[in-house]
Chains A and B, each alone.
Chain A
Amino acid sequence: QKEVEQNSGPLSVPEGAIASLNCTYSDRVSQSFFWYRQYSGKSPELIMSIYSNGDKEDGRFTAQLNKASQYVSLLIRDSQPSDSATYLCAVKVQGAQKLVFGQGTRLTINP
């Protein structure tokens, strides 16, 4: 079992709709969770971090964390074509410094 799992997609969403991206992780002592956006040929850009159970909202983005289910998600409201990218879920385990990444979900917003 991979440490961090994401559906590789592609996920296709119409413009203006809500895009929902999901991520599961295997290590129960994981403590910090991040979503990065990566455009083709570019490096990952941090868009959200979440550390405690529940929802965290930042503009059109909402991160949701459920530690009991070992599940973290990212919702993008009012999706725009510029949101088309690969979204990487990353997890930091307690006591370690490295981030463990999923393989990413490729999201396409259709005008």
Chain B
Amino acid sequence: DTGVSQNPRHKITKRGQNVTFRCDPISEHNRLYWYRQTLGQGPEFLTYFQNEAQLEKSRLLSDRFSAERPKGSFSTLEIQRTEQGDSAMYLCASTSRDGAGREQYFGPGTRLTVT
């Protein structure tokens, strides 16, 4: 396993622009999660996929946020009309289908700065 990968690692954008992040989970992990982390806080859950189905979404995921996992492999998270409050680290995690699939492994994250 090469681990969870995320791209880009850093993104600086102007307020009002759209941004898209990509996450490639650990090979054959069928469960994929997106979290957001702001400075001094723990990660906060955004959404969860099992294969290609988006099964859970947080209230934090406003209508400006959308996530997809079209073929059950990589996932994208798009933020439309970015706001300064969207500045955060966006983390992707994955877990396997084995056992209870409890342990989540994080990628390196995408740090978003909205100016």
Contacts and interface: CB of A to CB of B under 8 A. Distances in A.
Interface of A: 4, 8, 32, 34, 36, 42-46, 49, 51, 88, 90, 92, 96-104
13 contacts: A4-B42, A34-B103, A34-B104, A43-B91, A44-B106, A46-B105, A49-B102, A92-B102, A96-B56, A97-B50, A98-B45, A99-B104, A104-B42
Interface in B18-51: 31, 33, 35, 40-45, 48, 50
Contact of A43 (B44, B48, B109): B109
A44 B108 contact: no
B106 A101 contact: no
Interface of B: 31, 33, 35, 40-45, 48, 50, 55-56, 58, 89, 91, 100, 102-109
By Cβ-Cβ distance, the 10 closest A-B pairs, closest first, are A101-B42, A98-B45, A43-B109, A43-B106, A32-B102, A97-B48, A44-B106, A101-B43, A103-B42, A43-B108
Contacts of B108: 42-43
A102 B41 CA distance: 8
Contact of A44 (B31, B43, B58, B102): B43
Nearest to B101: A97
A97 B105 contact: no
A46 B104 contact: yes
A90 B33 CA distance: 14
Nearest to B103: A49
A3 to B, nearest CB: 10
Nearest to B111: A41
Nearest to A41: B111
